[in-house]
A = this chain, B = another copy of it.
Amino acid sequence: MIETKLLDLDLKSPLVLASGILGLTASSMKRVIEFGAGAVTSKSFNKDWRTGHKNPSIVPFEHGMLNAVGLSNPGLDEMIKEIRQYKEQCNAPIIASIFGRSLDEFGEVTQRAAESEPDMIEVNISCPNVHSEFGQPFGDSCPDTAQITQIVKKHAGKIPVSIKLGPHGPGIGVIAKVCEENGADAITAINTVGPGMIIDIDVKKPVLSNLTGGVSGPAILPVAVKSVYEVYKNVKIPIIGTGGVTKPSDAIQMILAGATAIGVGTAVYYEGIEVFKKLNDGIEAYLKENSYKSTDEIRGAAHE
């Protein structure tokens, strides 16, 4: 009853492992599927590997989490291997998350990623941790977003493309429309919020080696729900609603706001890797109680 169709993909559950969480290796992503996710997203990768920022790079606070891993990743070649391996061992859809430092790199990485035949390619144009290196996220600029969407679509072939947006910039509804107009097949919203900073008052230093980090987890749920609501209002393509989903009611809020699938990341820390089963059970219970047959019946209902 929670089976979900995301474009042409059949998901046993609307829950999608969000990028950057346990998405480095085939084995680990396969394990997440075994725990109840309907699909997984790989860690975002670009052409060459990146060590990312030093530790502390991931630090919880009372109401969420700050991270500045700095898009560390083993690079194109390694990740493509892992995606291939995953597909040999597991038939739940896998989404390859990619990024680049230039238009050309976005194109090149997409092309190579496509060779490993992921079920979808997610384009991360909204990571807030890489300012210093890339300036403001591409996703804050409409022209950049348009260009990137076009070039990625050009190189992705028949593989559907989702653009991952952040909550900031000129308004997520506007940006989502730009993505749709330029051929995007789906929208993933949102990336982390902020960024934020935690200062240790005893050593009087920012805790993260990068000083600042994107905020995720329960603290950002309302901003994520609002973003999904905005996107749904502005585009027809499906949405992977992501951000702060920890309890079943959070996931249901996302669906009511308009999400087709639901990204789950930081909750793996709060609820353990069992969170996927807990959420599936909770969503199913809600549908039963209100005698719905599937999430399709309530998608976007908060707009009425």
Residues of A that sit less than 8 Å from B by CB: 61-64, 66, 136, 167-168, 170-171, 193-199, 201, 204-206, 211-212, 215, 218-223, 225-226, 229, 249, 252-253, 256-257, 286, 298, 301-302, 304
Q: Are A222 and B194 in contact (CB under 8 A)?
A: yes
Q: Determine if B66 and A199 form an interchain contact, defined as CB atoms under 8 angstroms apart.
A: no
- For the complex formed, measure the closest distance between the CB of A79 and the CB atoms of chain B, giving whole angstroms: 30
- Of all chain B residues, which has the CB nearest A61? B222
CB of A52, distance to nearest CB on chain B (Å): 19
Smallest CB-CB separation from A226: which chain B residue? B197
- Kindly state the separation between the CA atoms of A222 and B241 in the bound complex, as whole angstroms: 23
**A218 contacts across to B, CB distance below 8 A:** 62-63, 219
Q: CA A304 – CA B252 in complex, angstroms?
A: 45
Given A204-B256, A204-B302: A197 touches B168 (CB 8 Å cut-off): no
In the complex, 30 of the A-B residue pairs with CB atoms within 8 angstroms, ordered by the A residue number, are: A62-B63, A62-B218, A63-B63, A63-B64, A136-B170, A136-B171, A193-B193, A194-B222, A194-B223, A194-B226, A195-B226, A196-B221, A196-B223, A196-B226, A197-B226, A197-B229, A198-B222, A198-B225, A199-B229, A201-B249, A204-B256, A204-B301, A204-B302, A206-B302, A212-B229, A215-B222, A215-B223, A218-B219, A219-B219, A219-B220
A194 touches B167 (CB 8 A): yes
Contact status B64-A199, CB under 8 Å: no
Q: Please, which residues of chain B bring their CB within 8 A of the CB of A221? A: 61, 196
Nearest residue, chain B, Cβ from A228? B197
A196 and B215: CB pair below 8 A?
A: no
How close is A217's CB to chain B, nearest CB, in angstroms?
9
Cα-based distance from A171 to B137 in the complex (angstroms): 12
- Residues in B neighbouring A196, C-beta threshold 8 A: 221-223, 225-226
* Alpha-carbon distance A10/B222, docked complex (angstroms): 38
Q: How far is the CA of A66 from the CA of B219 in the complex (A)?
A: 12
Question: How many Å lie between the Cα of A289 and that of B250 in the bound state?
Answer: 42
- Residue in chain B with minimal CB distance to A205: B302
Nearest residue in B to A301 (C-beta to C-beta)? B204
The answer to whether B168 and A253 have CB atoms under 8 Å apart is no
B contact residues around A64 at 8 Å (CB): 63, 219, 222
Q: Whole-angstrom distance between the alpha carbons of A225 and B304 in the complex?
A: 38
Q: How many Å from the CB of A225 to the closest CB on chain B? A: 5
